[in-house]
Structure 1
C-alpha cells in the first residue's frame, strides 16, 4: 500500500508532501513536489490546513492483561490508544502474574498479539523476580520499579532496589521508578477521612496521606542509587516540581502525566474517588509549577500511567477504591488543545510524546516524520476541537477524569503504514491487530 499525504503541515510549521510505501516513510518533500502519478500512490490524502504528526509513544500504560481483563485488555486498550493518536505503548509489570520472570513476559507478549498498536513490555522487580530469565527476553525497560506499594503490591525494599538497579546497569537497561517513600506517608491524614464513597468521599485525604515530601525523598534515593551503579534512571509520573528539578539536576529523565498536569486537589470535590491515584493529585500551586516545567523543557516527556478501573471499583471509600485513572486516548488530544490556546507549541508537544520518548528509550525508527522511519502518523485538524466524553472513548472502563474538557482528537492514525483508526467521513473504523514488539 502506498499513500501520499499532500500539503501536510508538520510540527515545525513546514508544509510537506509525505509518501508512505508499505510500513515506511519513503519521502518527505516540499509541498507540491510529489504528485499522485509520480508517486504511484494507491491513495492520496489532501492535508491542506491540517497537521501530520508522528504517532505518540506512551511510555507508561497498564493494559491490565493478564489477570484483570475486566478493567482493560490488549484489544480495548490498543483501540483507545489508536483513537488518541498513540501508536506505541509500554506496558508495566503489575499484572497477574507480574512480569518478573521470562515466562511471564512470554505470556504477556502472546496476549499483546491482539494489539492494534506497537508495544513494549517492561520487566518488573519483586522478591520473586528472576533477572536471568527476564533479561533473556526483549523487555523494553526495567520498571515500573515500585518504591512504595501501589496497584499490585509490588513495593520493594532498599537492598533489592539497589541490586535491581545494578543489574539493569550491567544490562544497559533503563530503570523506570515509581518514587514514593512510604515512611513519609501521613497516616493520620487518612485516619481522619470520612466513610463516604464515590463523589461523597473525602478523597483529599489521599493527597494528604501520600505526601509531596514522600515523592521528593524517594526521587533523591533513586537518583543516589542510580549514580552508584551508573544506571539510567527514569522517574515515572513525577507529580511535584521538586521531583522534576531533582531529576533534571542529576541528569536523569522524568515523565509527567496529563492528570498531574491539568488536575489538582481543587478538582477533587468533583472527582471524588475517581480522582484517587498514586502519586496523588497535588496543590494547584504545585500543578502550575509542574506545567511551567513541561513548557520550558525541564520535563522530558508526558506519559499517561493509563490505569483503568471499573466504575463500580472506583465508587468506594477513599481507603478502598483502587488508585488510577484512564488516559491513553486523551493524552495527545488535551495537549493539542494547549497548542490551540497558545500555552504549548506544537514542536514541544511532538517532543514530549514522540521524539524524546524515542530517544530516551532508544526506540529506532519512531518519534519523527522523517524519511526511513516507521510510518506512524497522526492527522489532526487543530480547528476541530470537541468536548471529551467518557461515553465516546474506547477504554473498557468507560469513564475519564477529563469529562467536558476541550480537546483535539485525531481523524486518522497509521501504525507502520496500516490504518489503525479512521474517523474521516461518517463514523469511525479501526484497523487490524498489527502491533509488534518494538524490542523483538
Structure 2
C-alpha cells in the first residue's frame, strides 16, 4: 500500500509506503509501484496505540471479556498492541499458567504481551522461562483477584526482575492508610473516601525507594494523584495515567454510581486537573487504560460488593484525539503518550512511530469525523462505558504489521486473528 498525503503527528504531510509487515518509506512524492494507492489528504496517520495495561479476563472470567472480543475492541479504537495482566484464574504466576494464557491469545486480532504475576505461590524459575512482557501488575494492595503482597515478597520480586532484566509494573496502594471510617457509608463516593490519596502516595514512595535501593526500574500503574506522579518522576521511574483518572472525578459518581468504582478510585476534580497538567507537560510518561471489564449486573450492587474496574480500550485513543483536535493536547503529545514512549520504555524499538523500518502498526483518522461514544456501538464483551455520550474520534481503519485488522465501513470490519506475542516478534 502507498498512503499519499497523510498528515503525521508532527504536522508534516508525507507519503508512506507499506511493504509486507514494515514501513518501507516515508517521504514526499513517492512513486507508485504495483500497489494499492490510498489518498489520505486531510487525514491523520498515527502509530497504533501500545496499551501496556489491560485485563482480558481469560482464563477464568470469559463472560466479562475474551481475547477475541477484547482485541477486536482494541483494534476498533486504534490500539495495535496490548499487555495483559496476571490476575486471571489461574493467576499467571508460573510457566504453565503463561502457556494456558498463550493458548487463549491465539484468538487475538492484534499483537500482545503477557505479564507475569507475583503471589506467595509463584514459581519464578518457570515463569521467567517464558517470553514475558514484564513482571506485574505487582499488587501492593488487593484488587480484582486478591493478589496483594507484602513488602518482603515485593523485594523478592525486585531481585528476581533484576536477575532476569525485566521491568516491574506496580499497583501502588498502602492498605494500612485506607480510611476505615468510610466503610460506615453506602454511597458510591465512599469508595473514593476509603482508598484515599495518601494510600497511593506513600505506596508509590516506598515502591520507588525499594527499587532504587536495588537498582531496578519499575513502572507505576494507574497513578491517580499529582503527588504520586511527582514521586515516581523524582525517583527516575515511569508512570501511567488512565483515561478515567484523566477525564473523570468524584463529581461524576452521582451519575455513574458503582459503575465508577475502580482501584485506585476517582479523585476530586482539583486533583484530576493537576494530573491532566502533568499529562500535558510531559511529567506523565504514558496513557494506559487498565481496561477492567465487569458486566453491568456485577456492577449493579452495593458499593462494598461491586467489583472494581471499568472498560476503556476502545475509547481511550478516540478521547485523546478529540483533545488534540480541540487544542488541549498536541497530536505529538498524544503519539508520545500512547505509542512512542511505551515503545521506548518497554523495549519495542520497531514500534511506536511512523518511520521507515518500523512495523506498519498504523491508524488512519479523519479529524472531521467526531462522533458520540455509544456503548451499543462498541465491540467489547462488556457493553457499557463510563464515557457514554462523550465525543470520540474513532479510526477509519487500524493496521497491524502491514495488514488492516479493522475497517470501520467494511461489511466485515474484522479479519482473522493474527496477533503475535511482541516478545517473540521482537526477537
Shorter-chain TM-score above 0.5:
yes
Which residue does 1:262 correspond to in 2? 247
- Find 1:35's aligned residue among 22, 28, 31: 31
Which residue does 1:311 correspond to in 2? 296
Q: CA RMSD, aligned part only?
A: 0.8
- Find 1:367's aligned residue among 332, 341, 352: 352
Structure 1 residue 340 displacement after superposition:
1.5
Instruction: Map 1:300-379 to 2 at 5 A.
Output: 300-379=285-364
Q: Deviations over 1:111-158 (max 9, x none)?
A: 101000000000000000000111111100000000000000000011
Which residue does 1:145 correspond to in 2? 138
Which residue does 1:167 correspond to in 2? 160
Instruction: Map 1:168-317 to 2 at 5 A.
Output: 168-193=161-186, 202-317=187-302
Instruction: Map 1:361-400 to 2 at 5 A.
Output: 361-400=346-385
- For 2:353 and 2:107, the matched residues in 1 are separated by 25
SS in 2 for 1:213: helix
Which residue does 2:19 correspond to in 1? 21
SS in 2 for 1:268: helix
- For 1:11 and 1:208, the matched residues in 2 are separated by 40
2:426 maps to 1:438: no
Which residue does 1:199 correspond to in 2? none
SS in 1 for 2:422: coil
SS in 2 for 1:176: strand
Aligned length: 424
SS in 2 for 1:67: coil
- For 1:300 and 1:427, the matched residues in 2 are separated by 38
- For 1:343 and 1:204, the matched residues in 2 are separated by 28
Q: Deviations over 1:264-303 (max 9, x none)?
A: 0000000000000000000000000000000000000000
Structure 1 residue 44 displacement after superposition:
1.2
Which residue does 2:2 correspond to in 1? 4
Which residue does 2:407 correspond to in 1? 422
- Find 2:64's aligned residue among 68, 71, 88: 71
Structure 1 residue 228 displacement after superposition:
1.3
User: Is the contact made by 1:80 and 1:393 (CA closer than 8 Å) also made in structure 2?
Assistant: yes
- For 1:192 and 1:388, the matched residues in 2 are separated by 32
Structure 1 residue 428 displacement after superposition:
5.7
Structure 1 residue 364 displacement after superposition:
2.8
Structure 1 residue 427 displacement after superposition:
5.4
SS in 2 for 1:430: coil
SS in 2 for 1:429: coil
SS in 1 for 2:333: helix
Structure 1 residue 311 displacement after superposition:
0.7
Structure 1 residue 97 displacement after superposition:
0.6
Structure 1 residue 58 displacement after superposition:
0.3
Which residue does 1:120 correspond to in 2? 113
- For 1:415 and 1:220, the matched residues in 2 are separated by 38
2:136 maps to 1:136: no
User: Is the contact made by 1:418 and 1:431 (CA closer than 8 Å) also made in structure 2?
Assistant: no
Runs (4 or more) in structure 1 with deviation over 6 Å come to none
Instruction: Map 1:101-116 to 2 at 5 A.
Output: 101-116=94-109
Q: Deviations over 1:360-383 (max 9, x none)?
A: 000131000011110100000111
Structure 1 residue 21 displacement after superposition:
0.7
Q: Deviations over 1:213-256 (max 9, x none)?
A: 00001000100110111011100000000000000111000000
Which residue does 2:395 correspond to in 1? 410
Structure 1 residue 192 displacement after superposition:
2.1
